[in-house]
Amino acid sequence: MLNKMIDHTLLKPTATEADILALCEEAKLYDFMSVCVNPSHVALAKKALEGSTVLVCTVIGFPLGANTTDTKVQEAIEAIDHGADELDMVINIGKAKAHDYRYIAYEIAELVAVAEGRTVKVILETCFLTDEEKVAVCQAASQAGATFVKTSTGFGSGGATFHDVDLMKASILSYMQVKASGGVRTYEDAMAYIAHGVTRIGTSGGVALMNHEQSKGGY
């Protein structure tokens, strides 16, 4: 069902506690897979979602990915301590551009280790990478034990594309998954990405997607 493919997302720097609580209420109403919030809101979201099946997802090294590995690891540990169920981490994009994929794989593996079985999604920020770099990062994520590769932060110069999703899916291990994020705003967009093999969608427009599906007799 579409609702369980949606990470209901609010990552704006201006988001208030009231905004996060409203996001959580929407997520409970539609039974989304998760809410995706900045680390400072994880504990609030966890409490607000008690008794529901909605998970708490947070972002690590967001949005630039340029933090040190140790900083990302500590950020992840704190997020988990506050109740995070899933971690969406931004790769070090500069290292990817320098083709230092050993660094990329090591950093992802460090996050996977502290996640202790929790879902780890690796954000490529595809708008900044060549196809060859995207493939190599996907291979590094596979080597490091990540659960997902994800297209975008939503804060770069571009978001998800069908080409990138197809390329990423072809470049990961068969049991791994792809998350489309950045610019998935319409029901038709969502259905098209799912047809391309995406199993999770990051969007701030989850309510609109569900309202459209309900109007078509789904959900």
Catalytic residues: 88, 150, 179
Asked if 122 contacts 89 with a C-beta cutoff of 8 angstroms, the reply is: yes
Query: In the chain, what is the greatest distance between 2 CA atoms, to the nearest angstrom?
Result: 49
Q: Is the dihedral of CA 113, 115, 118, 121 positive or negative?
A: negative
Cα distances (angstroms) measured from residue 106 to each of 42, 57, 65, 69: 26, 22, 14, 9
Q: 53-88 burial by CB neighbour count: b if 16+ within 10 A, else e? A: ebbbbbbbbbbebebebeebbebbebbbebbbbbbb
